[in-house]
Amino acid sequence: MTWVSERHLVAAISNAGGFGVLACGAMTPDLLAAEIEGTKAKTEKPFGVNLIVMHPELDALIDVCTEHRVGHVVLAGGLPSRTVMAKVRDGGAKLLAFAPSLGVARKLSRAGVDALIIEGMEAGGHIGPVATSVLAQEILPYMSANMPELPIFIAGGIGHGEAIAAYLNMGAAGIQMGTRFVCASESVAHANFKRAFIRGHARDAMPSVQIDPEFKVIPVRALANEATKAFTQTQIDVIARYRRGEVTYEEASLAIEHFWAGALKRAAIDGDVETGSLMAGQSVGLVEKEQPVKEIIDELVVQTSLALGRGCSRTSALGEAVA
């Protein structure tokens, strides 16, 4: 959601009863400060900031969040160190972090996070190897038994209230959703980018391919386009040059890594949906039209409430039948 989850969308989500989160991405501290202030000018409701732990200026970005009294900081893109987590919490913010496995969930909970986010491979952008539903079945019961006071949020492939209700029934405190809000009226995403989402199907959101195990490619889920094909061919060409001794391993690795540089902005903001990156979760198949944020949230709440109500009715009926 980098470039998309900015002040307009975040403020709209918080104003509509959700909890918006600014995607810092590669922002400098000055840009993040301006974005936080811009969001505050549009909403008096709480919102959070998502920081990438690999950002070279992470400490300065945390300082910005502290100075601007951001209430919640989400650390993403890797396992944060205890020092970084302590800095966030010492600054007065609630700390949330991503758990792609039970082992990481246990580590983070012992380190003192205030909440966990479980994100499965159905999500858009950088993904892990395990499905959301499997992670939820693995982590939720364990945490419920051992740390019942720790809120757990579920993310990845969620686009309908039925799924929200299912995870709530499993013990989740809530869910995180990105793809569904790309096509919100308040989203600054380019019309071409939104159109690609509306036309897209779940099967179109594919993870990037690694051609050679010697050259690591971090999987990124996005809608397949001409750039997807070009990335595969680039790997083949670059690795062949390395095998022929024309470039070093470091040069080859850098060429592969830099292929997607600026690609998300090209697609999401500039509208180049052929050579840009169309990062999207598999829930993109549930995006059918452009809608105001409030309408999206209201729909999800109604769907969730109806599903929870049906669940209660079934439970009651089962109890009566057993009795």
pLDDT at res. 152: 97
pLDDT at res. 205: 96
pLDDT at res. 314: 60
Q: Which residues contact 70 (CB under 8 A, 6 or more apart)?
A: 36, 47, 48, 49, 93
Residue 72's nearest CA partner among 28, 19, 2 is 19
Q: How many CB atoms lie within 10 A of CB 111?
A: 16
The CA angle 291-293-296, to the nearest 5 degrees, is 70
User: In the Cβ-directed half-sphere of 303, how many Cα atoms lie within 13 Å?
Assistant: 15
pLDDT at res. 211: 92
pLDDT at res. 33: 98
Dihedral sign, Cα of residue 29, residue 108, residue 219, residue 173: negative
pLDDT at res. 70: 97
Domains of the chain (ranges plus CATH)?
7-189+297-321 (3.20.20.70), 191-285 (no CATH)
Whole-model pTM: value is 0.90
Q: Are 138 and 174 in contact (CB under 8 A)?
A: no
pLDDT at res. 318: 45
Which residues does the chain have with pLDDT short of 70? Answer: 311-323
